[in-house]
Amino acid sequence: MKNKISCTNCKTIEILNLSDKELVNFSDKNVLSLSIDEMKSIQFYFKKLKRNPTDVEIETIAQTWSEHCKHKTLTGIIEYTEEKHFKKTKKIYNNLLKETVFKATMELNKKWCLSVFKDNAGIIEFDAKNGVAFKVETHNHPSALEPYGGSATGIGGVIRDILGVGLGAKPLANTDVFCFGNLDTKNFQVPEGMHHPKRIAKGVVAGVRDYGNRMGIPTVNGAVYFDDGYMANPLVYCGTMGIIPKNKIDKKVNSGDLILVVGGKTGRDGIHGATFSSIQLDQESDISAVQIGNPIVEKKVLDTMLKARDLNLYRSVTDCGAGGLSSAIGELGEKTGVIVYLDKVPLKYEGLAPWEIWISEAQERMVLAVPQKNKKRIVELFNKENVEAVFIGEFTKDKKLMLKYNNYVVANMDMSFLHYGIPKPKKFAVCKVKEEKIQKFIKMTSTDLSKIFKSALSDLNVCSKECIIRQYDHEVQGQTIVKPLQGADIEVSGPGDAAVIFPYIAISGTKKGIVLSNGLNPSYGKINTYKMAASAIEESLRNAVAVGADLEKMSLLDNFCWGNPNNPETLGSLVRAAIACYDMSKAFDVPFISGKDSLHNEYSIGGKKYSIPPVLLISAMGVIENVANTVTMSLKNDGNKIFVLGVTRNEIAGSVFAKIKNIKDGIVPTVYPKESKEIMKRIYKAISNGLIECCHDCSEGGLAVAISEMAFAGDKGVEVDIDAIKTKGKLGVTEILFSESNGRFIVEVIPENESKFIEIFKGCVFAEVGCVREDKYVIFESLKNKIKIKEKSRNLLKVWQNAINL
Amino acid sequence: MFEVDIFTKKGFKDSRGEHVLSDILDIGIKGLKKIDYSPFYIIDGSINKSEVKMIASELLSDKITERFKVVSGVEDKKYKNSIIEVLYKKCVTDTVSESLVKAIKDLGITKDVKVKTGHKYYLHGNVSRDILNKIAIKLLANTLIQEYKVK
């Protein structure tokens, strides 16, 4: 029979007669990461077909149903129990993402959201003709094993997401956020078989640097966070933003279209990458899950694909990411069906089994749906640019996945089973909300405060990341106008809050810009994941607003990195963070447009399991009407007035100060959206009217750190009256200087603009607290408390600059 | 088969060597004074020495800051200093070698060649073989995808 399975080139897997226990053992042994319910569904399906599956079929199902591809925890059933003030409440989520993050977006219903949660990236409107796409991905487990290759393929993969959104967007900027173990970890503390955090950090930074720089895409924004909890399981987030014509956003596949694979050849790289990401790390994690990137190939694919897009030579496209051809073609052909000839796939070397060809995660490959009439032209175009382009099959209309190898059928399954046959898992989540107790005031002398102040500046999570940032080309393409390091000159610089891209080359004649920022606060999450998520959202928005973004044109991306969701407490903390996403998105009126999750971030040493501190990275993107109306964070001119906008509260828990002083109690910074949203809107108005010279958001380290960063970046001095800072109730000097309350900004205003500035902020909480000094001293003084901290601005710069050397 | 070794010329900074030395000191290993870094390429195929010299000169080395040495077969000379040699394991994608194979064709050499890329670290100073193995594993080779030799 023509379509009968033939196993000359594949193996038949005996599962029809396996017991439950044997099914589980089979999944474990073959790194399939399938649960017993999933294995039983597969068994049931093949019992109906009256045959055993082939290895190709089993591997295809495992990839398609993997946590990485299907997000089955966050889209599955979760029975959530919350205990607060000795009261228990229960709630069933049938799809946590749809009922929190996605729900907020649907309810906000912004017309300028052009494509959300359905393609490889989210797209918002840039102008009448163009949209702007943004995606952030994680590549944690590969980076733990091979930091250079893992992170390089992380950035390479997310660039392909942008290339695979709609009919392809042109990448304009990259972002990267990393969480590493402490760099000064002693060698004996590093688990056997794992790399030292410094080696991981160096390799990861080099991987992103080499891939991003060679692609000619600037890396413009990011963050690095250090904590022992990431020692054996680093987190590597890579993001890419790109511009796409609005008429290239929709894509579809027609029956009869040809399947074209372009780019890299297929090898054994990354076999089981998708299912591997659902497994904890241990000493025996193996080579086949490691992919190696080749940016030169991807750059050629990018350039040629955009030419083909503009010539309307293909109808749909997606990238080969996790699960390789299996996921990409399975996804494109979901509504039609496909026939693929695996022996036509270009290989790096001989000897690959059909299932290996089908699920390999070899890099730099894109899959296109090409109308028959364009067959010749599109291949000529790719060949002319020295890019391999090979037709490997066709989209059919029988809604079947048919794979052939040397004329033998090696897989024949219903698309409906592949995409919808997965049983919805049910998981249990529990969260006991800890009661936070207010921290008693901590009295300190001027000398002690000064020491703490310097410790905060040199803390790994506050200090300069210049040694990393300077390795990246953040100028290539010549469109980065607000850069990651800002200041008076190359020798003195401070940390920019957000990046602004002015795409005047990509879109001729535009005045508009694109702002990119991020927020993450893992230390808050150790105590309260709701507040961590809320703070990350607010921080990302604050950062964008600080450079001149309009809150009404902002969008968000979520990236959850969590431990094992089979642990109810771990999952409970994730549910709380997702609830915060809904609440904050609604409160700030800012929609989520895309997201991703990476679960099972656990590692095992000597049989004991360790989970990472949970992280929700929030990346924000917005459109700025006029890039001329943007500001940086460095102080500009002597004599200008300094204002602190927002309220300082006694919120020390999870702060840099609490870490330095080893304080476990206190209140984690809360978000007060009503207060901060109003301030953010007015900052936009004031910047647009040219009333603000510089603006900086107040986050890790608190006011003392933020104000001194502004001073040394501008090579200026500053004088601050601590008593003038607006607080909620009476606060001590320590709390005022080091509390990390949300919703605060520091701005510089020239005296002539003071009255207009004050008029704009009428009704908000704010205060004039000092001025820019020409003598280059940073002074914090409280006459009430007889406290005076006086340091040379350049000395503080050195403290901030010299803490890390990668 | 030929081996091409690339060396930094005297008077120019060998920043990779300096970084490796600094990393070695960071993990608490003393006794080394200097590290010289040298990338190397094994080129196999029906190709002659003068063609390999052209490849080394045009593609593999910077004429101002680097010099090269071409050896027939694989370099096996004894050095007074220790050498750690790192190569990719079989089946691991070697993107530099892929680019090099293409570049050799672009150079006008149409013969089929296979290329392997590697790294050599010349360690000046007195350390035991155990320490050399430790340096290789902790800093220079990721044994998941690379193999190393201590010479």
Q: What is the structure's pLDDT at A6?
A: 64
Closest to A53 in 3D by CA, of A20, A1, A11, A2 = A11
Helix or strand or coil: residue B8?
Answer: strand
Contact B145 A286 (CB under 8 A): no
pLDDT at A449 over 60: yes
Helices of type H across A526-617? 529-547, 568-588
The percentage of chain A sitting over the pLDDT mark of 90, rounded to a whole number, equals 74
Place of tokens 């029956």: A255
Q: Which residues pair with A150 in a beta bridge?
A: none
Q: What is the structure's pLDDT at A67?
A: 80
Residue B123, classified by CB atoms within 10 Å of its CB into exposed (0-12), middle (13-18) or buried (19+), is buried
Please work out, in degrees rounded to the nearest 5, the angle formed at the alpha carbon of residue A701 by the alpha carbons of A225 and A636. Answer: 105
Q: Which residues of A touch B140 (CB under 8 A)?
A: none
Q: For A267, which of B93, B139, B142 is closest by C-beta distance?
A: B93
Q: Which residues of B touch A200 (CB under 8 A)?
A: none
In three-state form (DSSP H/G/I as H, E/B as E, the rest C), the secondary structure along A225-243 is EECHHHCCCCEEEEEEEEE
Q: How far is A209 from A683, CA to CA, in rounded Å?
A: 34
Q: How far is B140 from chain A (nearest CA, A)?
A: 10
Helix or strand or coil: residue B38?
Answer: strand
**What residues does each domain of chain A span?**
1-72+251-424
Q: For A292, which of B23, B26, B93 is closest by C-beta distance?
A: B93
Contact A287 B98 (CB under 8 A): no
- Given pLDDT bands bounded at 50, 70 and 90, which one contains residue A618? very high
In chain B, the residue whose alpha carbon lies closest to the alpha carbon of A148 is B142
Helices of type H across A79-145? 96-99, 101-108, 140-145
Q: How far is A243 from A124, CA to CA, in rounded Å?
A: 10
Task: Encode B19-34: b = buried (16+ Cβ within 10 Å), e = exposed.
Answer: ebbebbebeebeebee
- A contact residues 131-190, partner B, Cβ 8 Å cutoff: 145-146, 148-149, 187
Q: What is the structure's pLDDT at B79?
A: 66
Q: How far is B54 from chain A (nearest CA, A)?
A: 23
A156: enclosing H helix or E strand:
helix A147-163
Q: Which residues of B touch A291 (CB under 8 A)?
A: 93
Query: Do A325 and A267 meet the contact criterion of CB atoms below 8 Å apart?
Result: no
Higher-scoring residue by pLDDT: A685, A279: A685
Contact A199 B28 (CB under 8 A): no
Q: How far is A365 from A745, CA to CA, in rounded Å?
A: 44
Q: Which residues pair with B3 in a beta bridge?
A: B42, B71
Contact A268 B139 (CB under 8 A): no
Distance of CA A411 to the CA centre of its chain: 35
Q: Which residues of A touch B144 (CB under 8 A)?
A: 145-146, 286-287, 290
Q: How far is CA A18 from CA A45, A124, A724, in A?
A: 14, 50, 74
Place of tokens 């992103």: A208
Q: What is the structure's pLDDT at A492?
A: 76
In three-state form (DSSP H/G/I as H, E/B as E, the rest C), the secondary structure along A199-233 is HHHHHHHHHHHHHHHHHCCCEEEEEEEECHHHCCC
Annotated active-site residue in A71, A139, A474, A696:
A139
A193 Rama sector, left if φ>0, alpha if ψ -120 to 50, beta otherwise: left
Q: How far is A612 from A615, CA to CA, in rounded Å?
A: 8
A154 Rama sector, left if φ>0, alpha if ψ -120 to 50, beta otherwise: alpha
Domain A1-72+251-424 belongs to what topology? Answer: Phosphoribosyl-aminoimidazole Synthetase; Chain A, domain 2 (3.90.650)
Q: How far is A285 from chain B (nearest CA, A)?
A: 9
Residue A636, classified by CB atoms within 10 Å of its CB into exposed (0-12), middle (13-18) or buried (19+), is middle
List the structure tokens of A442: 């901590």
Per-residue pLDDT reduced to its tens digit, B25-59: 888 888 899 999 999 999 998 899 999 999 999 99
Q: Does A349 touch chain B (CB under 8 A)?
A: yes
Per-residue pLDDT reduced to its tens digit, B50-96: 999 999 999 999 999 999 999 987 666 666 779 999 999 877 878 88
Of A278-292, A614-628, A690-704, A719-733, the one with minimum mean pLDDT is A278-292
Q: How far is CA A578 from CA A145, A341, A583, in A?
A: 29, 42, 9
Q: How far is A406 from A10, CA to CA, in rounded Å?
A: 11
Q: How far is A292 from chain B (nearest CA, A)?
A: 6
Q: What is the structure's pLDDT at A285?
A: 43
Query: Do A637 and A693 meet the contact criterion of CB atoms below 8 Å apart?
Result: yes
Query: Do A321 and A327 meet the contact criterion of CB atoms below 8 Å apart?
Result: yes
The crossing angle, in degrees rounded to 10, of helices A295-310 and A147-163 is 0
Query: Do A246 and A149 meet the contact criterion of CB atoms below 8 Å apart?
Result: no
- Given pLDDT bands bounded at 50, 70 and 90, which one contains residue A145? confident
Q: For A267, which of B27, B91, B99 is closest by C-beta distance?
A: B91
Contact A290 B27 (CB under 8 A): no
Q: Is A139 a catalytic residue?
A: yes
Q: How much is the average pLDDT of A297-310?
A: 95
Q: Which domains does chain B have, with CATH numbers?
A: 2-150 (3.30.1280.10)
Please work out, in degrees rounded to the nearest 5, the angle formed at the alpha carbon of residue A136 by the alpha carbons of A135 and A141. Answer: 140
Helices of type H across A256-337? 273-276, 295-310, 324-332
Closest to A356 in 3D by CA, of A60, A709, A106, A731 = A60
List the structure tokens of A455: 């410790």
Q: What is the structure's pLDDT at A346?
A: 93
Q: What is the structure's pLDDT at A289?
A: 52
Q: How far is B89 from chain A (nearest CA, A)?
A: 10
Q: Count of A–B CB contacts within 8 Å? A: 48
Of A652-656, A732-736, B29-33, the one with minimum mean pLDDT is B29-33
Per-residue pLDDT reduced to its tens digit, A388-436: 999 999 999 999 999 999 889 999 999 999 999 999 889 999 999 888 8
Q: For A196, which of B99, B102, B138 is closest by C-beta distance?
A: B138
Residues in contact with A462: Cβ distance below 8 Å, sequence separation at least 6, in sequence order: A456, A656, A700, A701, A705, A800
Q: Which residues of A touch B27 (CB under 8 A)?
A: 187, 196
Q: How much is the average pLDDT of B128-141?
A: 92
Q: How far is A726 from A284, CA to CA, in rounded Å?
A: 55
pLDDT at A70 over 70: yes
Q: Which residues of B touch A187 (CB under 8 A)?
A: 27-28, 138
Q: Does A198 touch chain B (CB under 8 A)?
A: yes
Q: What is the structure's pLDDT at A275?
A: 56
Q: What is the structure's pLDDT at B76?
A: 62
Per-residue pLDDT reduced to its tens digit, A97-106: 999 999 999 9
Distance of CA A382 to the CA centre of its chain: 32
Q: What is the structure's pLDDT at A283?
A: 43
ipTM for the predicted complex: 0.84
Contact A196 B93 (CB under 8 A): no
Contact B26 A198 (CB under 8 A): yes
Q: How far is A304 from chain B (nearest CA, A)?
A: 18
Q: How far is B77 from chain A (nearest CA, A)?
A: 31
What residue type is A133 in one-letter code?
A
| DSSP state for residue A433 in the 8-state scheme | P
Per-residue pLDDT reduced to its tens digit, A753-806: 999 999 999 999 999 999 999 899 999 999 999 999 999 999 999 999 988 877
Q: Does A283 touch chain B (CB under 8 A)?
A: no
Q: Does B138 touch chain A (CB under 8 A)?
A: yes
Length of chain A counted residue by residue: 806
Annotated active-site residue in A68, A272, A474, A696:
A68
In chain A, the residue whose alpha carbon lies closest to the alpha carbon of B27 is A187
Q: What is the structure's pLDDT at A284?
A: 44
pLDDT at A1 over 60: no
Q: How far is A601 from A222, CA to CA, in rounded Å?
A: 21
Q: How far is A367 from chain B (nearest CA, A)?
A: 21
Contact A187 B92 (CB under 8 A): no
Greatest C-alpha distance within chain B: 49
Q: Which residues of B touch A269 (CB under 8 A)?
A: 93
Q: Which residues pair with A694 in a beta bridge?
A: A748
Q: What is the structure's pLDDT at A643?
A: 97
Q: How much is the average pLDDT of A653-678?
A: 94
Q: How much is the average pLDDT of A28-45?
A: 88
Closest to B151 in 3D by CA, of B55, B81, B67 = B81
Contact A294 B89 (CB under 8 A): no
- B contact residues 100-119, partner A, Cβ 8 Å cutoff: 102
User: What is chain A's mean pLDDT, rounded?
Assistant: 91
pLDDT at A273 over 60: no
pLDDT at A8 over 70: no
Best B59, B134, B138, B144 residue to mutate vs chain A (most A CBs within 10 Å)? B144
Q: What is the structure's pLDDT at A350?
A: 82
Q: Which residues of B touch A360 (CB under 8 A)?
A: none
A380: enclosing H helix or E strand:
helix A375-384
Residues in contact with A48: Cβ distance below 8 Å, sequence separation at least 6, in sequence order: none
Residues in contact with A58: Cβ distance below 8 Å, sequence separation at least 6, in sequence order: A13, A15, A30, A32, A42
Q: How much is the average pLDDT of A149-168?
A: 93
Higher-scoring residue by pLDDT: B127, A125: A125
Per-residue pLDDT reduced to its tens digit, A275-297: 555 555 444 444 455 677 889 88
Q: What is the structure's pLDDT at B144?
A: 85
List the structure tokens of B125: 């100073």
Q: Which sign does the torsion angle of CA A207, A213, A217, A222 carry?
A: positive
Contact B144 A296 (CB under 8 A): no
pLDDT at A568 over 80: yes
Q: Does A671 touch chain B (CB under 8 A)?
A: no
Residues in contact with A752: Cβ distance below 8 Å, sequence separation at least 6, in sequence order: none
Q: How far is CA A80 from CA A91, A574, A575, B105, in A?
A: 5, 10, 8, 62
Q: For B93, which of A145, A198, A269 is closest by C-beta distance?
A: A269
**A641-645: strand order across its sheet:** A694-697, A745-749, A641-645, A766-773, A717-721, A777-782, A787-792
In chain B, the residue whose alpha carbon lies closest to the alpha carbon of A194 is B138
pLDDT at B148 over 90: yes
- Given pLDDT bands bounded at 50, 70 and 90, which one contains residue A7? low
pLDDT at A111 over 90: yes
Query: Do A692 and A757 meet the contact criterion of CB atoms below 8 Å apart?
Result: yes
Contact B145 A195 (CB under 8 A): no
Q: How much is the average pLDDT of A701-706?
A: 96
Q: Does B64 touch chain A (CB under 8 A)?
A: no
Q: Which residues pair with A792 in a beta bridge?
A: A777
- Given pLDDT bands bounded at 50, 70 and 90, which one contains residue B106? very high
Residues in contact with B116: Cβ distance below 8 Å, sequence separation at least 6, in sequence order: B41, B42, B44, B87, B88, B94, B97
Q: How far is A102 from B100, CA to CA, in rounded Å?
A: 47
Q: Which residues of A touch B28 (CB under 8 A)?
A: 187
Q: Which residues of A touch B92 (CB under 8 A)?
A: 287, 290, 292
Q: How far is A146 from A135, CA to CA, in rounded Å?
A: 23
Q: Does B15 touch chain A (CB under 8 A)?
A: no
Per-residue pLDDT reduced to its tens digit, A776-786: 999 999 999 99
Q: Is A195 a catalytic residue?
A: no
Query: Do A742 and A539 meet the contact criterion of CB atoms below 8 Å apart?
Result: yes
